[in-house]
Chains A and B, each alone.
Chain A
């Protein structure tokens, strides 16, 4: 039996995004943002949008595939797919699902995308206005545990306390994103640097590890990539960016009710990371640039540990700012500014940045980048990750 893998089988031929806005400041409706990003990705790839025959998204994206297909005049929709779970746990999974559809022959040209206009719809940082809490929430909301920051805080408290990791390690993660955004005119935080003093003086969202700058912003915008068979990508305008490995899911009972996951202090990547590296036939030491989804900086720490980039016993020493900066850091990370400072486009902006790094066109380019890892939203199980590479890595 031939090896079942996506390694080298498909490529990202085009990337697109809208202007990025602070939440509520987009002049355009969410669906229009989605269309703009998709058309931009098609243009970048030199592909007529009418040739697109599939859409994959995540986080309960409201821009439905059939509506997009109708608006774009697509002749034949062959694949429509939504990865379960809120937020950005599924960012890499949306690309993986597009890839699986293309490689299996179910579709030829699939868009993976995310569109968000949080001014038009509800925000994340406040609990839902409900009279009575149902399901899991019945055991959480009455205790004032309602927001994503709160949902994940106790995982981070547990892990960091257990391993003696200091808050300064998280500060470095936040500052790396802001540092890179200062050289990226697309970034919402362009021109708004973050100093150590500003971080330390920022208000608590949740003690003991979530200050304001440990938490992602909320933004409006959209991002999209276009996935085609590897053979086809060779004939398109840009240097192809190949999918080397990807996985999604969660380990044993990672979503057990009321905070009962057996491995609790976790971003829920242990099995996902293992499967991704196995498909890629690579490990963390092979990676030139890391894009690690920040919902909260503590989640980034867990994610880096579970993908093998950081050893918890040396995390305090390793997670210092200079190690995380392009072009010369030991592990350049979130080189466009990430969710914290480029745009909270639920990580889709990180996939775009991974492609830019591999094309050699990033604002904070890491010289000769051949392999980039994108670690999707941590703790938001089913989580997902992917590794992309240049032709040299095939």
Chain B
């Protein structure tokens, strides 16, 4: 499968605080932090619940869908891997079924496609199997 962006961008360090998320994406699941004390969803991963201050944070699979909260289309290459690539689309996706947390990813679309705030999107799991260690990114596409 092709990737949204060319190879050579930094890989995510799969740090311990976020390990269940990265394990989830490898299995094609969207897994985020949820406080065992008060039930608040939280993203990105933290050490404490921002609502009730519990350190007992669990992880829960959530529906891999949401809606576009905001977007941008960078043209200026910010990394050597992007030189000559041209514009690409980044979206901030709100997950209404997971406490309205937001996630950043690429929107899989033509570089001239109109992007609409509020549009419903679904997750696309993008494996990078040749990386060491391998990882899977979560990308987004507008629901057909």
Contacts and interface: CB of A to CB of B under 8 A. Distances in A.
B70 A155 contact: yes
Interface-central residue, B14, B79, B82, by most chain A CB under 10 Å:
B79
A133 B34 CA distance: 24
A30 to B, nearest CB: 24
Contacts of A258: 43-44, 102-104
Contact of B10 (A142, A147, A149, A259): A142
A154 B73 CA distance: 10
A276 B82 CA distance: 42
Given A147-B78, A203-B75, A131 B70 contact: no
Contacts of A136: 44
Contact of A207 (B46, B70, B87): B87
Interface in A182-197: none
B91 to A, nearest CB: 8
Interface of A: 125-127, 129-147, 149-150, 153-155, 157-158, 161-162, 203-208, 253, 256-260, 264-265
B5 interface: yes
Interface of B: 4-5, 9-15, 18, 43-46, 50, 69-76, 78-80, 82, 87-88, 90, 92, 101-106, 117, 137
A146 B74 CA distance: 10
Contacts of A205: 74-76
Contact of B72 (A129, A134, A142, A206): A206
The 4 A-B residue pairs with the shortest CB-CB distance, nearest first, are A257-B44, A138-B12, A154-B70, A207-B73
B78 A260 contact: no
A144 B74 contact: yes
Nearest to B88: A144
B79 A150 contact: no
A144 B75 contact: no
Contacts of B101: 260
Contacts of B43: 257-258, 260
A218 to B, nearest CB: 13
Given A144-B74, A206-B72, A253 B90 contact: no
Contacts of A161: 70, 117
